[in-house]
Amino acid sequence: MIKLQNINKSYHMGSNSLHVLKGIDLTVEKGEMVSIMGSSGSGKSTLLNIIGLLDSHDAGEYLLDGKVIREMSETKAAMLRNKMLGFVFQSFNLISFKNAMENVALPLYYQGVSRRKRNIIAMEYLERVGLTAWSNHLPNELSGGQKQRLAIARALIGQPKIILADEPTGALDSATSSEVMDLFGEINQSGITIMIVTHENDIAHRTQRIIKLNDGLIHTDQKNGVPRPPEKPALN
């Protein structure tokens, strides 16, 4: 599903340049649920953004579902994001002037689904994340956990093959985080590939594979076997 070979990425600020990703090799199969860990600044978000076509890479090869992603036009990338990918961000990234239903329905707007139809579908997805009663509310009327569930519903509505989540529980308390992870578990059960960036060991241990980044390179890449209970100490 995702195949990265020697991916490099630098940021340029004036005369300085910062080499963030220094040659990432990674393959993620369909249906996997992967977490990416690593210290702050190690390049986790950068990697996820490149995988999500939100950012470009400088060198190396990236194959998404068999398609070569390199110097791809914005329009093509937009279409791929729309069909293949769903995003969940730490800061939710909901549109503040649209209500819950309209936020969830937005990806379908870009798929050309009629307003009536996409609102009906949006209601189904709201039900799936338990927010039916909140469909008319604006994002700022929702709690953090509700917002993240809304964002997950939005990520799912386009029926993507991959969900990319950058610290989806970073702004949530542990109980709410656990609920969100339950939701991701269900989604993964339905066959969708999931990649989650996280700092929290217990979140990572609810995925099947943990990739640790260190200074722009993959440090460790371990199969986690069955999801483990949070009490168990981290492998580090």
Size of the site for ligand ATP (CB under 6 A): 12
Q: Of 10-18, 35-43, 76-84, 168-176, which segment contacts other proteins by CB under 8 A? A: 76-84
Q: Which residue is nearest to ligand ATP (CB)?
A: 45
How many whole angstroms separate alpha carbon 134 and alpha carbon 131?
5
Say how far apart CA 94 and CA 172 lie, in whole Å. 16
**Does residue 94 interact with other proteins by CB under 8 A?**
yes
Q: Which of 62, 89, 125, 134 binds other proteins (CB under 8 A)?
A: 89
Q: Is 175 in the site for ligand ATP (CB under 6 A)?
A: no
> Among 87, 125, 134, 184, which residue interacts with other proteins (rule: CB under 8 A)?
87
Between 55 and 61, CB nearer to Mg ion: 55
Q: Cα 82 vs. chain centroid, distance in angstroms?
A: 13
In the complex, least distance from residue 10 CB atom to other proteins, rounded to whole angstroms: 14
Is residue 161 involved in binding other proteins (CB under 8 A)? no
Q: Is 201 in the site for ligand ATP (CB under 6 A)?
A: no
Is residue 45 a contact point for Mg ion (CB under 5 A)? yes
Binding site for other proteins (CB under 8 A): 49, 52-56, 74-75, 78-79, 81-83, 87, 89, 93-95, 97-98, 102, 106-107, 109-111, 114-115, 154, 158
Binding site for ligand ATP (CB under 6 A): 11, 13, 18, 20, 38, 40-46
